[in-house]
Amino acid sequence: MKIKSYSLLLIILLFSGVACTDLEEVWYSAVVPETFFKTEQDVKAALYRSFTHARWYVQEDRWQLQEMTADQFAITTKGPHWYNGGENYRYHYHEWTVNDGWIWGTWRGTLMGVALALDSKQDLEKLDYSTVGLTEEDKASHVMQLQTLIAYFYLRGLDYFGGLPIFTSNEGENIPRSSDKETFDHIETLLLAAIPKLPKKVSGEKEEGALRQGAAAAMLAQLYFNAESYIGESRFSECATICQGIIDGDYGDYELDPTWFGPLGFYNNVSPEVIWSAPSEFNKLQYDWMWNRFYHYETYKYFGLDGGAWNGHHLQPSRKPTGEIYTEFKLGNPYEKFDDGDLRKKPYLYKGGGKYEGMFLVGDQISPYGTSYGTQEYKNEVISFVDMVATFKKVGDEYPDIASLPSTMADGEENTGVRLVKAPMPNLADESLRWGADNVIIRLAEVYYMLAECKLRAGEKQAAADLINDVRERNFEDGNDPNPVTAANLDEYRMLDEWGVEFLGEGRRRTDLIRWNKFVNDEWWDHEASDSQHLRRFPVPQNALSGNNALEQNPGYN
């Protein structure tokens, strides 16, 4: 994509923190779209550039801010590894600073996404599509997809930071932040205008990353769903209306997948449940960031693949070092929140031909493809991932018995924690499938759960339970759910448990906790409650403040 304006270049440099020298500038006395767009491929290249950024954006720093600050995942220090200057502790204990990298990466990535999509949108709006062999219908679809993408970046930025600088063009510099309400209204306006002009998904169509009506409608539902925490206004009724419309097919043809793995597996682009995803291409390493962070140095042997990993992330423990389940707090305990009969709770095993079972690496890491051995505390021993955090190898040396072992972020070992396999891995015989699963951003199950929560808040508990059970039943053999949701057992914590189980590791947990006022007010493993409400928003990073003196910091941050 050619950057044709000094203002856009300045925006991207400020947001990215890149220092450039020896720029070879090409100046045009008159810039028109025809200068750059000669063929259909040129148009698509401009369109796809913004979506490529979105594919990157839904991963890494954004995922970590959502999950590593909440009650389901941790990066414990394991011997000499993963202290990382205390960064992992700061996020877990809610002690982040204006200089922490994940926050800067998220601010930068959010506004860069806006700038890229806005630049392409403005160019394509000016282009006569007939000159490149495309139609006015193509133009409307492309322009409104980019408008929806702009709304998406603003929606995520509002969630992380509150009000953002609102760009309606890429001209101008040092734009101040708009208020939370102004940002909310801007997102709403963008989506309301885009929805009727986007195409609807037709039953049987593959999901390959294009934004359709269903995706834009779901984003609007998300905006209303979290309006109370964004702007202090309850908009649950509006959210419920949109969700019901999506389920009824008003915005395109979507259905719950009959299997739990359908929306997640190697061929999830054909799942009727997927509303919007970031496409992956086989062998293009779309999930290598998750591979590196979650898996042990020798997990590749268990998978029957090649290439080691970094042994960092894992589920927070459900059990004390003695093996007892934590009962002191209602949040957390992610692995034990899955019923024992849940098909997803099985250890992950690739079965061949693109089929697999289970979603976790837990217990002895022995599979038909190989055995993973320890390289640190458990050197030459079979690695057995445990749902506990403690330095068991220090019993008899530094600690007299297991009961005396502490369990904190500082007390991990190389086998600490259950590992999640949300994106399936094949073995070497089927290596062509590796990284083949698309990264799902919105799926119909989320719409069911949003509607269920709206009904719960409206006092319609049985209707809420029925919606959740419609999704739950596929997770059990022959649909025999041993612990269905009922009007009697559904409360705010059961609702959060259902969100946590169905969407474990899908980059949303912090938002759900904030919506229920649990993010700072409740406790979970090695995390104490506080009354520091400003922590519901991240600070504007120092790099951004230094680059734009019109920006104001969020309250509560020095």
> How would DSSP label each residue in 179-236?
PHHHHHHHHHHHHHHHGGGSPPBPTT----S---HHHHHHHHHHHHHTHHHHHS---H
pLDDT tier for residue 126 given thresholds of 50, 70 and 90: very high
Q: Are residues 50 and 160 located together in one domain of the fold?
A: yes
33 part of a folded domain? no
In the prediction, which pLDDT does 286 show? 66
The number of distinct structural domains making up the chain is 3
Q: Are residues 313 and 406 located together in one domain of the fold?
A: yes
Tokens standing for residue 112: 């860069």
Q: Are residues 311 and 239 located together in one domain of the fold?
A: no
pLDDT tier for residue 23 given thresholds of 50, 70 and 90: very low
The 10s digit of each residue's pLDDT in 351-401 is 999 999 999 999 999 999 999 999 999 999 999 999 999 999 999 999 999
Contacts of 423 (CB under 8 A, 6+ apart): 264, 287, 290, 435, 437, 439
Q: Are residues 273 and 288 located together in one domain of the fold?
A: no
Q: Are residues 325 and 378 located together in one domain of the fold?
A: yes
In the prediction, which pLDDT does 35 show? 65
Q: Are residues 361 and 398 located together in one domain of the fold?
A: yes
pTM of the model: 0.93
Distance CA 175, CA 45 (A): 28
The 10s digit of each residue's pLDDT in 506-539 is 999 999 999 999 999 999 999 999 999 999 999 9
- Give the residue numbers spanning the domain of 365: 283-437
Q: Are residues 484 and 496 located together in one domain of the fold?
A: yes
Element (H, E) at 302: helix 299-303
Q: Are residues 415 and 471 located together in one domain of the fold?
A: no
Q: Are residues 339 and 432 located together in one domain of the fold?
A: yes
What does the pLDDT average to over 432-444? 93
Q: Are residues 43 and 161 located together in one domain of the fold?
A: yes
532 part of a folded domain? yes
In the prediction, which pLDDT does 2 show? 33
12 part of a folded domain? no
pLDDT tier for residue 284 given thresholds of 50, 70 and 90: low
Q: Are residues 385 and 295 located together in one domain of the fold?
A: yes
Q: Are residues 364 and 258 located together in one domain of the fold?
A: no
Tokens standing for residue 387: 């749902």
Contacts of 326 (CB under 8 A, 6+ apart): 317, 318, 319, 320, 332, 333, 525
DSSP character at residue 135: -
497 part of a folded domain? yes
The 10s digit of each residue's pLDDT in 140-196 is 999 999 999 999 999 999 999 999 999 988 776 789 999 999 999 999 999 999 999
433 part of a folded domain? yes
pLDDT for residue 25 is more than 50? no
Beta strand 314-315 with 366-367: parallel, antiparallel or unpaired?
unpaired
pLDDT tier for residue 435 given thresholds of 50, 70 and 90: confident
6 part of a folded domain? no
- Are residues 45 and 39 in contact, defined by beta-carbon separation less than 8 angstroms? no
Q: Which own/partner contact pairs does 454-457 have at CB distance under 8 Å and 24+ positions apart?
A: 454/225, 454/236, 454/237, 454/239, 454/240, 454/243, 455/240, 456/490, 456/495, 457/236
